[in-house]
Structures are given as structure tokens and as C-alpha cells.
Amino acid sequence: MSHVLRLTNKRTDRSNAGGKAMSLHELHQTGADVPSGFTVTTQSYRDHLEKIALGDVDTYLSTGDIDAKSAELRDEILTTPVPSAVSDRILQIYDDEFTADDRVAVRSSATAEDMEDASFAGQQDTYLNVRRDDLIERVKECWASLFTKRACVYRERNNISHEDAEMAVVVQEMVDATVSGVLFTNDPVSGDDEMTIESAWGLGEGVVSGEVTPDRFVIDGDTGELLTTDLSTKRQQFTWNGDDTELIAVAEEKQDTRTLSDDQIQALWTTAQEITDYFGEPQDIEWAIDDGELYILQSRPITSITSSATADTETGVIVEGLGAARAPRRAR
């Protein structure tokens, strides 16, 4: 099995790419504009664990307190050098896809995530604005996030073996979005055929994490008719300052301005319909607009409205989940 697969590669499945990466590979087949990149496959993860030589993962974690044993395992993953055959291949494909100055998102893609009955949203890590020099360490950190106490307990509650849960990693071009957000193709609570779009200025991590209050648009799923528009006062946005992602004040004249035009809403509705038709089930879609171009960042089945997201402001790790909106006000 290959250590790395380009996102345009059609020959992949959950066992070697994980849920998130498999979805991105398939999104390319829908015609959606997906940022370029590649997947570090589960074969790379297995080769790294084989180098650690810890044996059966379920047995290892069951020999003591789950908090202590999972911490030990994460430390082993982080301190053990990646096999050279793996790291060399990752950097070779990176150099083919990007330049040394490019920034990428490094996203965990576990084999047990984004499933119909268990999304695992918020269980593993994503790192944004990663440079080439830090790429291998970020990949290892994604591997290690498979064994946080939270992720281990979640698997046990869902009767998923730790040994069977493996981790691929998506490396993907960063999009410097002017507007971004999330889209639910059906109402996540009732299942009604009403599409909900949440959007805000700047990068999407603010909407995904709930740190930024987005606008909300509800569209008839069948016709694309805009049913309701709820605008928020958008006082803050995430942006790239040349060194890092930061939360800044939105210009006063834009705070109460609608983030999406009717044409952009229609483009999102059309694209979401195509994606839903391809996957055959309601989708939770993350998207971004840069220089007028709509990009689809990821799509996964809608599993539960109780999924949530948090952002660790100290480490810069974005923990993913369903978008959250706070008390929007209705547009006049």
C-alpha cells in the first residue's frame, strides 16, 4: 500500500485514507473545487507504530489506567522518529504539490470517523498554516491525537476497537478566505429538507469553533428559494497576518453587512445539491470563498446536532465539529 496518495487519486477507501480523506477524494469526483493536497495513508501510521513495537494496542491500553496509558502511547508516537521511507515520501509529494513558502492545513483522518452512526467530530486534531519544516511533526501529532483520553473513551462507548482505529492525515492547501462557514443540507434536528448556511467574514475556524457569530440563511432544499435571513453583528473575524492566524476586529462598516450575496447563496445551494446527490445522504459541509471562488473544504454525513467544537487558543489546535451560531438578529 502507498504511503501517500494525491487527493485526485480515485483509488482509495476508508481503510487506507480514513473518513475525512476518503470524503475529499470522492468530492473531487463531484466536480466541486477542492483545495489541492494529498493523504498520508494509514500504511504510514502502521509503519510508525511498528517501529515503536508496542504490540496489540487494545492490550497495551488495557494494562493500566486509560488516562496514563494513552498519555504514554501519545508520547511514544511523538518522540519516535518517523521511518525515513515514510518521511521522505511525504516531503517528496509536498514538494511536487507546493512551494517552500506555501502554508497547508494538516488534518487528522481516522478510519472510524465521519461514519453514519458516529462522526467522531472533535476527537482528533487539525493544524492550520503549517510550513514544510514543521510538516512531519504535525503529522505525528495527528497520529498521536488518535489516543487522547477523550478519543479512547469515545471508541469504547461505541464498541470500536483501538487496534482497528487507524489514522491517515490530510495535507491540504490553505485557503485565505474572505468569507467562509458551514452548510447543513437538511435541518440537523428535524431532518426537514431545509438547507442552512452559516457564514462569517474571514477564515472558517471562527464559525466551526463557535468563536465568531455568523449570519444564517435558510434555503428551500428543493427549489433553492431563500426562506429566511438572520444577520448577526460580526465584530470579529479570523485572518492570516503573515505569521499566524489571529482574531481581529471587523471594520465597522462591515459588521452589519450581509456576508453572502444571492448569487453566492445559489452557488452554495447548487454545489451542496450535487454533493448530496453523490453521497446519497444529508451532508455537513465546510466551505470558503476566496477572490470570488467557492472551495469545498470537507463534507461529512450529518449524524447529531449535539456534536460541538472547541478551539485551543494556547496551542493553536482547531478541534472540529458542527458550526454553532449565537443569537442572530433577523434582518429587516
Q: For residue 259, what pLDDT is reported? A: 97
Q: For residue 263, what pLDDT is reported? A: 96
Answer for the pair 106, 126: CB distance below 8 angstroms, yes or no: yes
In this prediction, residues 186-212 reach a mean pLDDT of: 87
- Whether the CA torsion 73, 50, 94, 178 is positive or negative: it is negative
Answer for the pair 253, 149: CB distance below 8 angstroms, yes or no: no
Q: How many other CB atoms are found less than 10 A from the CB of residue 146?
A: 28
The grid coordinates listed for 37 are 493536497
The grid coordinates listed for 23 are 470524503
The string of pLDDT tens digits covering residues 91-138 is 999 999 999 889 999 999 988 754 444 444 445 678 888 999 999 999
Q: For residue 114, what pLDDT is reported? A: 46
Least confident of 73-82, 153-162, 307-316: 307-316
Helix (H) or strand (E) holding 104: strand 104-110
Which of 288, 332, 284, 296 shows the shortest CA–CA distance to 121? 284
Q: For residue 113, what pLDDT is reported? A: 58
Report d(CA 280, CA 314) in Å as an integer. Answer: 39
**60 vs 271 pLDDT, higher one:** 271
Answer for the pair 202, 288: CB distance below 8 angstroms, yes or no: no
Report d(CA 75, CA 72) in Å as an integer. Answer: 5
| The pLDDT of residue 143 is above 90 | yes
Which of 191, 23, 184 shows the shortest CA–CA distance to 113? 23
Q: For residue 280, what pLDDT is reported? A: 92
| The pLDDT of residue 316 is above 70 | no
Least confident of 120-129, 201-210, 246-255: 120-129
| The pLDDT of residue 207 is above 80 | yes
Question: In the chain, what percentage of residues exceed pLDDT 70?
Answer: 87
| The pLDDT of residue 201 is above 50 | yes
**140 vs 65 pLDDT, higher one:** 140
| The pLDDT of residue 305 is above 70 | no
> What does DSSP say about strands 310-312 and 317-319: parallel, antiparallel, or unpaired?
antiparallel
The grid coordinates listed for 153 are 473513551
Report all structural domains of the chain as residue ranges with CATH numbers, in order of start. Answer: 4-173 (3.30.1490.20), 179-330 (3.30.470.20)
Listed ranges 22-31, 219-228, 242-251; the one with the highest mean pLDDT: 219-228
Cell 509529494 belongs to residue: 93
How far is residue 320 from each of residues 43, 46, 120, 193, measured CA to CA in Å?
24, 24, 9, 24
| The pLDDT of residue 323 is above 60 | no
Q: For residue 225, what pLDDT is reported? A: 95
SS3 content of the chain, % helix, strand, coil (to 5): 35, 25, 40
For the chain, give the mean pLDDT.
84
Report d(CA 127, CA 253) in Å as an integer. Answer: 32
| The pLDDT of residue 187 is above 60 | yes
Least confident of 21-25, 193-197, 224-228: 21-25
